[in-house]
Every structure is written in structure tokens, then in C-alpha cells.
Amino acid sequence: MDMIGKIRRMHFRQNKSAQVIARSTGLSRNTVRTWLRQPGDVVPRYAARRTQPSRKLAPYVEWLRQAVAMDAQRAAAQRRTARALHAELKRQGDDGAYSRVTDLLRAWPQADGTSAVHAFVPLTFALGEAFQFDWSEESMVVGGVPYRVQVAHVKLCASRAFWLGAYPSQGHEMLFDAPTQAFAAFGGVPHRGIYDNMKTAVDKVHPRKKRDVNARFAAMCSHYLFDPDFCNVASGWEKAVVEKNVQDSRRRVWIEALSTPWRSFAELNAWLAMRCRALWQEIFHPEFSQFTVAEMLEHEQPHLMPMPTAFDGYVDNTVKVSSTCLVAMAGNRYSVPCELAGRRVSTRVYPTEVVVVHDGVCVAHHARLANRGQTPYDWQHDVPLIQRKPGALRNGAPFADLPQPLPQLRQALLRQGRGRPAHGPGAGAGARIRAGGGAGGRRAGAPSHGPVRAHQCGAWGQRDGALADRPPARPSDHGLDDGRSTPRRHGPL
């Protein structure tokens, strides 16, 4: 409009001709004349150019239309691009330019009344009907180690109450723990759960809605009595409620979380739980703006199924105990009772702990380590082994960090030359420790635990009755020759 006003002033005030105006403005004389014919308050508009197929392309228009219609029935990854269609036209004898093909393909949706922009139908959910689940990824430092933290999002579709959980991976044990924590916070379980086709939940995707559901995932759904519903492939909009939550949580939660040093995932998840509950009080429901999310959750809770006992969501692996009384799991090694060396045991992996089970009995329990290349020991697992290898008290890795006052006792025994059992049954320090079970241990012959879950396993759950019937050790077993009081040099344990 600025240029139009300038042209009109030059013509009607200064009486300049269209030719002079065109020379001074650099515009075409035809353009100047066109603008001068228009009323002063009307902006000149040019009619859109009608795209017509070139004469060279005309014989191939029908083939091109059929090719486009055929590709519309295929998956997006299998459809031919405009350049591939142009290459096929050239093989058929067309020597037209590539831009002619793209202009024609671009004009067809507009002429047919269709558009490349997708349209969606808004969804509505009844109270207690469904929740949606999704993963997102955030880069942050936990315990001094940089992680690509996997964040589980669980959101109720009706009240829009949500729950966040941070994990080091997207394993089965994490997939089971996230809804367990969310249902406990929501105060119940909805009737239906909406998931995408993640590998931990779906073993195989068949055409349409048929799925081969993972057995452990199906067991969790059966325990909580909700019906799993899987989205169509590459159709994230079918769970748009939780997809929006991924975007909102980055602004509301993770900007603050990234600026805070976290010592562990447990500390991070405790803060996330507090932050989620605080946001319920601050955020208003998008459809019922007079209610907060917390108030809508109170309306929805009577429609939820009461929370049952927590699902025992572990991942079970059968491994062999090494000669150093360790089992390998996820890049780390965990100690087990020495009597199980060389045997096969079951490791039950939880998000925060590792439980070792043998013959249905919990024999070891450790906090799960997030980093790799670490070996947590339980010194009580190797106490029976000291009878045969008393020199292990001096430099054995399991005895490097003994609880007080056991280090003083060890030093006293080593100074007195009694870091090994004396002759005779029950006289040696190792025998006394084994008989008493150590700090917090059990006496030999005590009844073993029954079938056990992770929280039922004590610090020393091994069955030490297997060693009770062993004959007393001979002096040579303790590194002594007859009449000698100095220990032999020990080889590898």
C-alpha cells in the first residue's frame, strides 16, 4: 500500500505520467497503469495462475493419476516420490521437465477439494474409562553420571491427572513399575490402558488391531484388571492426551529438574512425585476450567477400581554362579553365598533391587546399580569359605568394608596369628563366626526361608545347613604344617 500511495500522489498531485513514474520507481508501466485505474482504497490482486498440464505431459496425465491413486493405498514408506514418478515417465518416452510433474501433483489435491493437511476428530472419555502411557527421553546428570533418562508418563484421560517416573532404561521392570506407582497415586485403576506398539508390550504386530502381546505384560494387565488397547502403527495422535503431557512436562517440570543435581534415581523420583501433586493443584482442567486437575481427580476416583496389591514386576534370568561366588547382571556382578558356586540360580531384576533365588528360596538381595562395571559384596556370603581359606581375611575383597567392630576383631586375630580356626571343633575364629551366623546371620540348621518376594529377603538368606555336616578341617587345610604356626602363601581364591 505504501507504493500505491506514492504512485497515486505522483500522478494526481504532481501530474506525472505513467512513463515518468515507472522510470523513477523501477516498476513496469503496465503495473503503474493498473494501479492507477484502481480506487485508492482497493489493493490490487492478481488472479492465481491456473496450472495446466503441458502439451508434452498430456498423454501421460491419466497414467500419472492412476499411479498416485495406487500409491495412496500403500504404506507411506512404500509410496513413490515425485522424482521416482518422473523417472518412470522418462522411461515411457516423456522428455518434460521435473517441475511440470511437481506442479501437476501439487495442483491435484486443491482441484479435488482434498488437502495434504490431516484432520482429526476430538476425543472424549468418561470418568474412570482409560489412561494413556508413553515414554519420553531427557538428558540429565544423576549421581554424577550423564544419562539419557527414560521418563514414563501415565495420564488419566478424563481428569487429566498425570504421573511421571524417571528410569535408566525402558526395560520390562520399568514398564511394570511405572503404572504401579501411578495407580497408587491416582487411588485406583481405570478400565482401559492405551499404549503404542512398544517392544516390551507387543511381541508382533499383525494387520489391523491384532497383536501378539508379551506374556509378562499380559500378566500385569490381568493383575490390575485393565484392558490393554494398542494404537495403530505410527498413529501417535490416538493417544494425544499423553503426547501433550510430554510437551507440557518439559516446560513445567524438566527445566527445573535439569538445574538440580540429583544423587540417585530414587531422589529424582521422590521429587517428581511431589512436583506432580503440586501441579494437580495449580493446573485447571482444559474442558472444565472451573475445576483444577486435583478436583477432577476427586470426581474420577469413585469410578476407578480399588488398587490391588502391587504387581511383582520383575524380570527373571537364569545364570550360573562363578567360582568367585558372583552372578553377572546388566554389566555388574553381585555376590551370592559361596555354597552356590558353580550352580544355576534365578536373578529377579527390579527397578531398584536385584534378588537371587535358588530352589524357591531368596539367597541374596542387593540394591540395583545403575552404572556398569561394579561389584557389590556381602561379606556374610563368604564367611563359610574362611574355614578353608583363612588368608582371605587379610586381602579378600568381600572383607574390605566390614561393619564395625568386625575390622578391629579381624586385626586382633591376625596379630595373634589366629586368623584361622585352631585345632579342634569350634575352636577357631572362623568356626565361631560361622556358627553364630555373623552380624544379623542365622545359626546353622535354622529353618530356611520359604518362597520369597524381594521385600521378604533378609541380609543373609542362604541355607547354611549344607555346610553343617562337613567334617572338621585338617591342619593342612588351614595352611599349616604339623608343628608350624606360620600360614602358607595362598594362591588365587
Report d(CA 423, CA 475) in Å as an integer. 7
pLDDT, averaged across the chain:
80
Is 344 or 466 the better-scoring residue by pLDDT?
344
pLDDT at 489 over 60: no
Report d(CA 272, CA 257) in Å as an integer. 9
What are the tens digits of pLDDT across the range 208-266? 888 999 999 999 999 999 999 999 887 878 888 999 899 889 888 998 898 888 999 99
Task: Note whether 257 and 268 are within 8 A (CB).
Answer: yes
Q: How many CB atoms lie within 10 A of CB 334?
A: 27
- Which three cell numbers mark 131? 489412561
Question: Could you give the C-alpha distances from 294 to 64, 126, 197, 299, 390, in angstroms and in order?
Answer: 56, 17, 30, 9, 62
Is 7 or 126 the better-scoring residue by pLDDT?
126
Q: Given pLDDT bands bounded at 50, 70 and 90, which one contains residue 49? A: low
Report d(CA 347, CA 313) in Å as an integer. 13
- Least confident span in 110-119, 183-192, 321-330, 385-394: 110-119
- Least confident span in 2-11, 268-277, 285-294, 462-471: 462-471
CATH of domain 130-303: 3.30.420.10
Task: Note whether 303 and 212 are within 8 A (CB).
Answer: no
- Least confident span in 117-121, 270-274, 440-444: 440-444
Q: Whole-model pTM?
A: 0.60
The pLDDT of residue 103: 84
Report d(CA 187, CA 307) in Å as an integer. 6
Percent pLDDT > 70 in the chain is 78
The pLDDT of residue 75: 75
Report d(CA 95, CA 210) in Å as an integer. 47
Report d(CA 278, CA 268) in Å as an integer. 15
The pLDDT of residue 329: 86
The pLDDT of residue 51: 54
Listed residue (157, 81, 151) closest to 124, CA to CA: 157
The pLDDT of residue 182: 96
The pLDDT of residue 493: 36
Q: Given pLDDT bands bounded at 50, 70 and 90, which one contains residue 417? A: low
The pLDDT of residue 196: 92
Task: Note whether 393 and 409 are within 8 A (CB).
Answer: no
What are the tens digits of pLDDT across the range 173-205? 999 999 999 999 999 999 999 999 999 999 999
Is 423 or 173 the better-scoring residue by pLDDT?
173
Q: How many CB atoms lie within 10 A of CB 80?
A: 15
| 3-state DSSP of 365-397 | EEECCCCCCCCCCCHHHHCHHHHCCCCHHHHCH
The pLDDT of residue 120: 77
As beta bridge partners, residue 305 has 189
Question: Could you give the C-alpha distances from 436 to 332, 380, 409, 431, 444, in angstroms and in order?
Answer: 31, 11, 15, 9, 8
Contacts (Cβ under 8 Å, ≥6 apart) of 59:
94
Report d(CA 357, CA 365) in Å as an integer. 9
- Which three cell numbers mark 59? 498423454
